[in-house]
Amino acid sequence: MTREFIGSKAIRYTISPLKLPRDGMPVRFEVDETECEALARELDIPAVETFVGDLRVLPWRAEGVRVAGQVAATVVQQSVVSLEPLRQTITEPFEMIFVPEGSKLARVDQPGEQELYIDPEGDDPPEVYTGHTIDLGPYLVEALALALDPYPREADAVFDRVDTDPDPDSGPPSAFETLASLVPRNGEDKN
């Protein structure tokens, strides 16, 4: 296994699917401080404090690879209510199947020639890899990105409604008054 960090765009963590032990190979993925900063920029959040993956790489069917385990992270997001930094701990299961390019296992059986069938409750189709390595980095980052709370807020935070109407006691304008204001009166031309 090799690991490299390439700029602020990607985290790379490559594994070799060749000659895996029958009971699998344990893999621990952990980012350092520089990678955390780059990852926070990539995810557009204030901070990623920790990001760890505890995984097991197992042979799958004849030529595939199954990677299963969990990813855990401590992140700081901005509260959508108070706009204050909010620290959250995320723990998500992770499972993916990879097959080599050209494998019969990568093909999804379709009911008709021109139809595309996707089972929303079914398993995801295997990911295809080329060469002799699989880069888990982008998949681990994607798992973290999907686990982030899209609307983070404190447990007791309440968003109070703000009224921007200059005359809130007048009520909403009548649709007929609005239409009447568009009709020219007494020969006037409204442009």
**Residue count (the chain):** 191
- H or E stretch covering 110: none
One pLDDT digit (tens) per residue for the chain, 191 residues:
444 433 335 588 899 988 888 899 999 989 999 999 999 999 999 999 999 999 999 999 888 999 999 999 999 999 998 899 999 999 999 999 999 988 887 765 556 666 766 778 877 889 999 999 999 999 999 999 999 999 999 988 776 766 676 676 777 777 787 788 888 776 555 55
- Measured N-to-C along each axis, helices 33-43 and 137-147 cross at an angle, to the nearest 10 degrees, of 60
Q: What is the pTM of this model?
A: 0.73
What is the secondary structure of 3-65 as a DSSP string? EEEETTTEEEEEE--TT--TT-EEEEEE--HHHHHHHHHHHTSSEEEEEEEEEEEEEETTTEE
Q: How far apart are CA 10 and CA 82, in angstroms?
A: 31
Are residues 88 and 149 in contact, defined by beta-carbon separation less than 8 angstroms?
A: yes
